[in-house]
Chains A and B, each alone.
Chain A
Amino acid sequence: MSSVPISAYLALALILFCIGLYGALTKRNTVIVLISIELMLNAVNINLVAFSKYGAVPAITGQIFALFAMTVAAAEASVGLAILIALYRNRKTVNIDEMNSMKN
């Protein structure tokens, strides 16, 4: 019936998740770190939708959960950018390794 197995979708999501993880851990610009986090959330959404179609019990619930994950991701991006802009106004930097004023 279907020519693409579920493991192909899961492998694609895994690759995207690893790209996002590597970017979030190595990049210095805070905007790019936020973008990488969005990419990781998107990879998780692919997993949810793939299991909703090809899982042991196909149901619409996976798609509903992916919708909720999208909403939370949008809220997270907006609050993260607001924090970034407030930090930029006070510290004049967007580099993530200079945002350490809570350390000492």
Chain B
Amino acid sequence: MTLSGEFLAFLSLAVVSVMGGVLLLNLTKVVHVIVALVFTFISIAGIFVLLSAEFLAVAQILLYSGAITIIMLFGIMLTRHDDTSETKAGGLRKVLLFLGVLGFAFSVYIGIYNLDFGQVPNTLHENNTEQIGMALFSKYIIPFELTSVLLLAALIGAIILAKKDDEKGAEKE
């Protein structure tokens, strides 16, 4: 593992994303949490570029740092935007959860820390978007079409769930 440009880029992106994650856990104001989340998402997009997945990196920036962040901001603003995310759960429960997560991380790390498949030459970096398009519209055309059904169902479901039901509300009040 020499100190090449790729390694430096990976290291800085990894540090930024982990820092964003740690800030996400420790900040109390909900809006600040969203800003930390944007840092994490953008550095994950950089990681995708390092892994020669340029199309996914752009989709990550569009979908996550754009759409999901904004929709979460809407969720905060429509509920209690000045709320602080204080955990009232007991200290013992938090410590136990932390130990459990740490144990999970350790046991998975044992499995992956020495993993190496060797370098198989691949052509993922050449015309990445074209390759994705070819695979998506020939081999995976049925899952692709099913995705549109899923998105339509989610759209209609979200509208119906968030819609103000006037008759019921009038009866209650």
**Contacts known (A14-B105, A18-B104, A71-B150); A26 close to B114, Cβ less than 8 A:** no
Q: Is A38's CB under 8 angstroms from B68's CB?
A: yes
Majority-rule SS of A interface residues: helix
B162 in the interface, Cβ–Cβ < 8 Å? yes
Q: Is B135's CB under 8 angstroms from A19's CB?
A: no
Q: Which residues of A contact B68 (CB under 8 A)?
A: 38, 73-74, 77
**Chain A: which residue is nearest B155 at the CB level?**
A78
Residue from A11, A29, A77, A83 in contact with B71 in the complex, judged by beta carbons closer than 8 Å: A77
When A and B form their complex, what is the total count of cross-chain residue pairs whose Cβ atoms lie within 8 Å? Answer: 227
Give the size category of A's interface with B.
Answer: 35 or more
Residues of B within 8 A of A (CB): 1-2, 4, 6-7, 10, 14, 17-18, 21-22, 24-25, 30, 33-34, 37, 40-41, 44, 47-48, 50-53, 55-56, 59-60, 63-64, 67-68, 71-72, 74-76, 78-80, 83, 85-89, 94, 97-98, 101-102, 104-105, 108-109, 112-117, 119-122, 124, 128, 131-132, 135-136, 140, 143, 147, 150-151, 153-155, 157-159, 161-162, 164
Residue from A22, A42, A53, A97 in contact with B64 in the complex, judged by beta carbons closer than 8 Å: A42
